[in-house]
Amino acid sequence: MESAESSGSPTGGQPAGPQVDKGAPKGGNTKKYVFMVVFPFVLVMMLVGIYAGSMHAPTPRDLPVAVTGTAAQAQPLADSLNATGGSPVEVRVVATADEARQLVHDREIAGALALPAQGSDDGAVLYTAQAAGAAQVQMVQSVFQPVADAQQLTLEQQDIAPLPASDGMGVTTLFTAIGWMLAGYMLVTVLTSGAPELLPLRRLVPLLAGWSALVSALVWVIVGPLIGAIDGHVLPVLGLGWLSVFAVGLGQTLFARLLGPLAVVPGIALFMFLGVPASNIMMSIHSVPGFFGFLHHVLPLPAAGETLRSILYFGGDGVGPHLLVLAAWAVAGLALTAGIDLLRRRTSRGPDEAADTPSSSPAGSPGAQGALTSA
């Protein structure tokens, strides 16, 4: 009886209870709790700092506009506006009103003022494109309305690319692009912490491709048939959605390879926090700090948003450079991740690797038996 009781107690008769791992580092929990507090703090500060810092006081800076009219009218006005302190506008003189309208449609300029002939009772005409950004149109109006008032001219506004009634604020492109960014970013982020066995490229790439197709289709159903914010352009929108989700997913995969769980910080910063003010959709890129002008040409969110806007409202003009940005993120993410994986496999091979192969184990050894069993 005594031996039975003793064998049932791991401490020789003392009741069994929770065992404390005395070898565990005492600072482990402290580091975990510090991370749990610091991580959301950093994200909140990034969100507030980037959004408020970039968009709290929008003022035009080097806003590209044009003036057309006789040489005696247009050139002095352009010189006067270009000499304004702080360089709010960058004015060019164009020969005809047709040329001015085309430049606005091609989004090479934000707006153009066509002056009436000298001695004419006609008013001035202001060409803008609402679909290129409502905030940008307001800035163009704030530049040229005082000019018209000073010359006692009535100012007629002509919208080269009006927004449809289904998207009067012009925000559909931004929120659709944000949805694509989140889809690519979140899938890899969740897999990194919850299912790392799916992160090898041979598993992740087909999974991400299928996920991108699914999300692209669902987003189109929401903004198209369900809400009615987008009409038509089904195949281009579906293709753009797939490429956007896929590119962001591969970009986030690269960050995950380099930083592990900490990859959420650069991912959300580049794909969301910095991407929104650099998108040129909610606010003109000419009204935020100059650094965002550079980001506008390299980040996925501006590329996806500008491409979608071009498809919907400008007949697809100018999509080439933006599609190249998305393709570059996809190719770079895939190639660099594959390179990192290959380098790690090579550096992880040590002198003990040969002992793990079946040929180096005796036929009856446990190693050989394990290899046969696993096979």
Residue of higher predicted confidence among 210 and 29: 210
Q: Pull the structure tokens for residue 32.
A: 């975990």
**What's the 3-state SS for the chain?**
CHHHHHHHCCCCCCCCCCCCCCCCCCCHHHHHHHHHHHHHHHHHHHHHHHHHHHHCCCCCCCEEEEEECCHHHHHHHHHHHHCCCCCCEEEEEECCHHHHHHHHHCCCCCEEEECCCCCCCCCEEEEECHHHCHHHHHHHHHHHHHHHHHCCCCEEEEECCCCCHHHCCCCHHHHHHHHHHHHHHHHHHHHHHHCHHHCCHHHHHHHHHHHHHHHHHHHHHHHHHHCCCCCCCHHHHHHHHHHHHHHHHHHHHHHHHHHHHHHHHHHHHHHHHCCCCCCCCCCCHHHCCCHHHHHCCCCHHHHHHHHHHHHHHCCCCCCHHHHHHHHHHHHHHHHHHHHHHHHHHHHHCCCCCHHHCHHHCCCCCHHHHHHHHHC
Q: Note the pLDDT of residue 358.
A: 42
Report how far residue 96's alpha carbon sits from residue 119's, in angstroms, rounded to the nearest whole number.
18
Averaged pLDDT, 253-275: 94
End-to-end CA distance of the chain: 47
Question: CB–CB of 63/284 below 8 Å?
Answer: yes
Closest CA to 108 of 81, 139, 76, 132: 132
Q: Is the pLDDT of residue 343 over 50?
A: yes
Averaged pLDDT, 354-365: 40
User: How does residue 368 score in pLDDT terms, banded at 50, 70 and 90?
Assistant: very low
Residue with tokens 């491409």, as numbered in its chain: 307
Q: Note the pLDDT of residue 352.
A: 52
pLDDT in tens, 101-157: 999 999 999 999 999 887 677 889 999 999 999 889 999 999 999 999 998 889 999
Q: Is the pLDDT of residue 167 over 90?
A: no
Residue of higher predicted confidence among 168 and 133: 133
Q: Is the pLDDT of residue 3 over 50?
A: no
pLDDT in tens, 187-218: 999 999 899 999 999 999 999 999 999 999 99
Q: Is the pLDDT of residue 362 over 50?
A: no
Closest CA to 141 of 60, 61, 69: 60
Q: Note the pLDDT of residue 38.
A: 80
Residue of higher predicted confidence among 334 and 164: 334
pLDDT in tens, 41-93: 888 888 888 888 887 778 889 999 999 988 888 999 999 999 998 889 999 99
Closest CA to 280 of 174, 142, 144: 174
Report how far residue 207's alpha carbon sits from residue 213's, in angstroms, rounded to the nearest whole number.
10
- Rounded CA Rg of the chain: 30
Q: Note the pLDDT of residue 57.
A: 77
Averaged pLDDT, 34-38: 76
Residues sharing a CB contact under 8 Å with residue 211, sequence separation 6 or more, in sequence order = 183, 187, 245, 249
Q: Pull the structure tokens for residue 190.
A: 């969740």
Give the CB-side neighbour count of residue 115, counting CA atoms within 13 A: 26
pLDDT in tens, 269-316: 999 999 999 999 988 999 998 899 999 999 999 999 999 999 999 999
Q: Note the pLDDT of residue 28.
A: 61
Give the type of residue at 307: T
Q: Is the pLDDT of residue 181 over 90?
A: yes
Instruction: Provide the sign of the torsion angle of the four alpha carbons 8, 10, 15, 18, taken in this order.
Output: negative
Q: Note the pLDDT of residue 53.
A: 82
Q: Is the pLDDT of residue 11 over 80?
A: no
Q: In what order do the strands lie in the sheet with 111-114?
A: 89-94, 63-68, 111-114, 124-128, 155-159
Report how far residue 293's alpha carbon sits from residue 206's, in angstroms, rounded to the nearest whole number.
34
Q: Pull the structure tokens for residue 51.
A: 């959004």
Closest CA to 81 of 72, 71, 91: 91
